[in-house]
Amino acid sequence: MASSTVENYLKEILLVTMESNLSKVPMGQIARVLGVTPGTATSMAKNLERDGWVEYFPRLGVSLTRKGRKLAMNMLRRHRLLETFLVETLGLAWEEIHAEAEELEHAISEKVLEKLDEFLGRPRFDPHGDPIPSRGGVIPKLLSKPLSEFNENSRVRIESIIDQNKEFLRFARARKLLPGKEITILKLEEQADAMSLKVGRNEPFSMGLRSAEKILVLDAC
């Protein structure tokens, strides 16, 4: 059984690994993100290696073993499902949920997590739009990118809407912004932080780039 501390180390190692694309995460970086002294991180690295969670390469850093990665992914799943619950069900503010989930993720059992997942309708993205790993520890690899990253005259197909709030979903539905639909970007006005577009052959309209980030699309080849 891994302690909360171990769970935190592994989760942060995973996050840094995913963000940096490096195979080994240096101890200093781990110490920084976890808010401990470098010496503490080093001594922890040895314990983590002893227990089979990571491989430790002195002066270079640590990398997760298969076992460590599995647990770390599971922590990420817990964290993101809990964040979803806190926003969707209890209506907590966006900026509060991270710290709350950070605590709860160590206490919730696999069984309760499953029930929660079911209760929430098996969401695939958390309120920040980050993907929620599956039970098996797989992150749905997205080929799609936010609509906001495309240029004028792009033609793209909607893959998913990162369901943020009710109002937005209502607006999206009214404009036929639904998975499968084709979008043409007519004009891009970076200064005004907006784009104008049309969905299929419908009326053109405009939309803020902030909102366009919530719409994941694929190139309509």
Quote the least distance from Cβ 134 to its own copies, whole Å.
Answer: 20
Please select the residue that binds its own copies; options are 103, 152, 193, 219, rule is CB under 8 A: 103
Residue 108 binds to its own copies (criterion: CB under 8 A)? yes
Q: How far apart are CA 191 and CA 33, in angstroms?
A: 35
Give me the phi and psi of 177, to 5 degrees please. Answer: -80, 85
**Can residue 55 be called a binding residue for its own copies (CB under 8 A)?**
no
Cβ(133)–Cβ(123) under 8 Å?
no
Q: Calculate the alpha carbon distances from 17 to 30, 162, 168 in Å.
A: 11, 24, 33
217 bridge partner residues:
145, 158
Q: Does 191 participate in binding its own copies (rule CB under 8 A)?
A: no
Of 18, 60, 107, 178, the one binding its own copies (CB under 8 A) is 107
Instruction: Give contact residues for DNA (rule: CB under 7 A).
Output: 3-6, 26-29, 31, 35-47, 58-61
Query: Per-residue b/e over 113-144, b at no fewer than 16 CB within 10 Å?
Result: beebbeeeeebbbbbeeebbbeeeeeeeeeeb
- Site stretch for its own copies (CB under 8 A), options 16-24, 27-35, 69-77, 92-100: 92-100
Nearer to its own copies, 119 or 205 (CB): 119
Interface pick for its own copies out of 104, 186, 194, 209 (rule CB under 8 A): 104
Cβ-contact 11, 2 below 8 angstroms: no
Residue placing its CB nearer to its own copies in the complex, 36 or 139: 36
Of DNA, its own copies, none, which one sits near residue 42, judging by CB under 5 to 8 A according to partner kind? DNA
**Stretch (H or E) spanning 132:** none
Structure token digits, residue 118: 């079911």
The residue ranges that bind its own copies (CB under 8 A) are 86, 89-92, 96, 100, 103-104, 106-109, 111-112, 115-116, 119
